[in-house]
Amino acid sequence: MLFSLHKQATTTPKIRAAIQASSEPAWQVAERYGISEQTVWKWRNRDDVHDRSHTPHRLQTTLTPAQEAVAVALRKALLLPLADLLAVVREFLNPHVSRSGLDRCLRRHGVGNLQALKPTDPKPAHGSFKACEPGYLHIDIKYLPQMADEERRRYLFVAIPRPAGHCAAMSRKGPGDAVGLRAHLSGADRGQCPPLPARPRARRPDEDHPGADPLSGHCCAMPCRAVDNGKAFTDRLFGLRKRSPTGQHEFDLLCADLGIEHRLAPPMRPQTNGMVERFNGRIEDVLQSHPFHSGEDLEQTLLRYVHLYNSQLPQSVLKGRSPVEALKDWQRQRPELLRKRVYNHAGRDT
């Protein structure tokens, strides 16, 4: 059994028990163990053999309970630092109070931390994306690790419709693969991306027109895609201002040919494209938690996850529905908005 002894203790629990059990005079017991008679009488008057707390039972303070209550009230009301509060207490309450004594008083009453007493401004709540009809897509690129059997790394094109759905397309080439983006935009990949609206709907005069925020307002003027400022999507790098746009970027021309409004997210504001960023985080969790043996294994795992996410996993933002179920509801309510039947199967239509 372990005992906690005072560092200057001259006896052990066994000696103390022997002192309590002995009937010899105190001076004989003191001589036997090399202690004083006061120590013998101390342990004979106790019922246990353990050290007691050496904390003083009386607080060494010059403040009365009433003065302490006033000092604590001043601390809470005026939010005074310790030096200023000490000057006030010495001037009006007790001229003999010390700085350490006042600090201990404040700590005992739970007001020692001045920063904790100051009111904190509530953090602004994260705003939600405005509801809109199908046709508004957030697009980004997710960099994938290069497998041992691959010569080049892969890139995951992620596209998320605003109302519902999460979709992705794999590419073996670099992020500038305009062919893959063309298939992604035109809806050629079955189940990879929802179809475009059949025709753009005219904007009503009372509707808000998108302002400085490229993701604000309704996406009803025309089908639109909001992407980040990556070189795979545009050369309008307005966040860098290093060069003027050429107007000949493949993705910009592709959007113009398809009648798509191509908006860019503001620089240094990833939360504006937060839907894609959140899905990229989910993909990163899959990459970190699964061992992959080849590039084919990586591709099939991500395709299974995307299929499961689209068709099986309910989303709270979609009121407990999966993305495919939400798009099917849109198709039942507004069939003129969708060109093709909503499904979630891999492969191409043509």
Instruction: Please give the CATH topology (third level) of the domain spanning 136-201+213-337.
Output: Nucleotidyltransferase; domain 5 (3.30.420)
Q: What is the pTM of this model?
A: 0.52
- Cβ atoms of 210 and 124 within 8 Å: the answer is no
Question: Is the confidence at residue 241, as pLDDT, over 70?
Answer: no
Report pLDDT digits (tens) over 136-181: 778 888 888 888 888 888 888 787 877 655 555 556 555 455 445 5
Rounded Cα distance between 248 and 235, Å, is 9
Question: Is the confidence at residue 67, as pLDDT, over 90?
Answer: yes
Nearest to 187, CA basis, from 225, 219, 218: 225
Q: What is the pLDDT of residue 195?
A: 35
Report pLDDT digits (tens) over 249-278: 777 787 778 777 777 777 777 777 777 888
Residue 198 pLDDT class (50, 70, 90 cuts): very low
The rounded mean pLDDT for the chain is: 75
